[in-house]
Amino acid sequence: MTTLFLVLKIIFVLFYLGILSYMANYFFRKSGWSRFYYLLGVLSVIGIIITGQAFIVRAYNYFSPNEALPLILGISRSLVALFFVIVNILSYYMYIAYFNKKRYQNQQNVVWILSVLSIILVALPQNDYAKDVPGLLLPRLRVIPSVIAGLYVSLVLMIDSYYKTNAHFQHYALCLFLLQLVQIVNSYFLKAKAKTEFIYYALICIIFIAMLTIFYRELYKKNELERF
């Protein structure tokens, strides 16, 4: 049974990275149409790097455990925490590029203050992360500004896209909201174990793929219309 789950995990990771790589390439090829698609491509590449390294480090830890790995695992977890911050920031600027909106200073200040605070907390000494089973206090504190920023951005996107009757960004905002819920559940309700950590990463990947697929489908339809 353990071997079967391991094989399924490998298939899932390879499928996820393959789909993400394809979409990143597609977004960059169409980036001449709009800066929005360039930002989508950047977001896709960041997703490949950060979520990919999380699975690679976990796989290496599974097959070759050694004394140096706790520190590597700590760095890996920090990068995943940073991933949420990057998604929040890029989502906000994608929204500006998509609707060709002017940048409201107050909105930008809120997003950047919370994001910088999140980055500072992530950059703190990672002693609790550098364990097979990290502590709870610091990860719970670190997630607060990141989640608030994510909820704020998703709310801005949801309200504005509702008034503009744009279903694509409404769905994207919903996925961004779900991403924050996953952070909350992982930090406050799940026990820090290898199995639950894989489930956590898998949920991040599924939601992230859904976020990108929303605009991939829109771009694909536009491309098909251009042909005719």
Which CATH number belongs to the domain containing residue 108 in this structure? 1.20.1070
State the Cα–Cα distance between residues 13 and 55, nearest whole angstrom.
7
State the Cα–Cα distance between residues 99 and 167, nearest whole angstrom.
13
Predicted model pTM: 0.87
Let me know how long the chain is. Answer: 228
Return the sign of the alpha-carbon dihedral for residues 153, 155, 157, 160. negative
- pLDDT of 227 higher than 80: no
Domain span at residue 116 reads: 2-226
5: its two tokens: 């789950």
User: Any idea which of 18-32, 63-77, 161-175, 178-192 has the lowest mean pLDDT?
Assistant: 63-77
Using only C-alpha atoms, what is the Rg of the chain? Answer: 18
Give 41-67 pLDDT, tens digit per residue.
999 999 999 988 888 888 777 666 666
Contact 87, 44 (CB under 8 A): no
**71: phi then psi, degrees, rounded to nearest 5:** -65, -40
State the Cα–Cα distance between residues 56 and 155, nearest whole angstrom.
34
Contacts of 169 (CB under 8 A, 6+ apart): 95, 98, 157, 158, 160, 161
125: its two tokens: 């000494």
Contact 152, 114 (CB under 8 A): yes
- pLDDT of 228 higher than 50: no
Task: Report which residue type is found at 3.
Answer: T
Instruction: Pick 106 or 38 by higher pLDDT.
Output: 38
- Of 196, 215, 178, 218, nearest to 136 by C-alpha is 196
Say what the pLDDT of residue 139 is: 67
Number of domains, the chain: 1
Can you list the alpha helix ranges (DSSP code H) found in 64-166? 69-99, 105-123, 137-163
